[in-house]
Structure 1
């Protein structure tokens, strides 16, 4: 298969994959009826394509949530207490723009591709490399955000901004969990099964903590949202999510 630059692989990941149309499925079924020996093999291949599609969608959802989180942090402005805010905001803006542009679906390019092309791509090495690099890049983005927030103390943080940031962290945790589950169902990727299990455990622990915050009484939440513990909590969760994502494809020594 012809090699494509990483930018196109990224675009393909963002665009998602097209499953065969109803008419194409009917033609496939007729062909299988004529060739009984091929039916089991083709059904298995179709399942693999659907699972691969789930992984691509999950990566895309994580990217969207990372962009939304960055947007909510920028909306909070200097209130987050990040040092050199103008410089940090400029860096966040570049990250947000890059993530947003990568999420745009290149429908014209997609329309020119055949089902056979998609099947070959999703089963090939470029698919594995593309998914792995995308997850690594998203983890790096979260690492950069966590570094910015390290040591930051809220300065006149608005409760409404805190609520938005907290919601975005919660959404990102769910998106990463969906990615882990999709990778657990996948076959042929380089994901480390043991690391996936550990990642799920870490995500479960984080989910319980986020749920505890969501269940706070109004007065308790208001105090927490504008207090000194809010930013360190956000920074810790973002850093943890970055570590979890980076661990998914790490192989045991």
Structure 2
């Protein structure tokens, strides 16, 4: 205890010596600090007393980007939407309990509602629990969109892909891919040329879209979400519109 008192006494003596004999080291800085504090207090007083209006209007900022859906004006074009699989062919299974045919049919219904409400004609190639052969999916129209959600052995593979067959379908595929890239949460696996029957049997622009991989746990859970399905429908409608009018 005595040692602590001695240390305390020594420190106090040194402090008093410094304050008494070293004024030239601290007086000037203290002066400027004091002046600065007084200046800030004076400026704050003047601002509050004379510059702040008596009534202020609260300003709010919206960072959500808005929730209104895009409005397009189609001119009666016929869009054929082909939800893959159906009936006794459910396609890939999902850990959420949904199957591929259910997921893509939900997206197809969203697309149909959005397109028809804005002036387009829509043909669905099948009913909810109906199976159609690939030949039966060859329906006349102006544009054709086949919807799928893939599954493969490698569960690490993720992303969406857009396929076409003929050169006259490539530009349509690129517009669909660009729109999906804008809306989708997934990796864009690009636009690829393949001889899928649903596109090679057409004589007009058509694409096959793999919306994601149900074999990938993350893709699976996201693509089964109804809000995400509507987002994909928005993207596909935008891609169709951009191809036709942009």
TM-score range, shorter chain: under 0.3
TM-score (norm 1): 0.27
Relative contact order (alpha carbons < 8 A, sep ≥ 6): 1 or 2 greater? Answer: 1
Greater Cα radius of gyration, structure 1 or 2: 2
Whichever structure has more strand as a proportion of its residues is 2
Higher helix share: 1
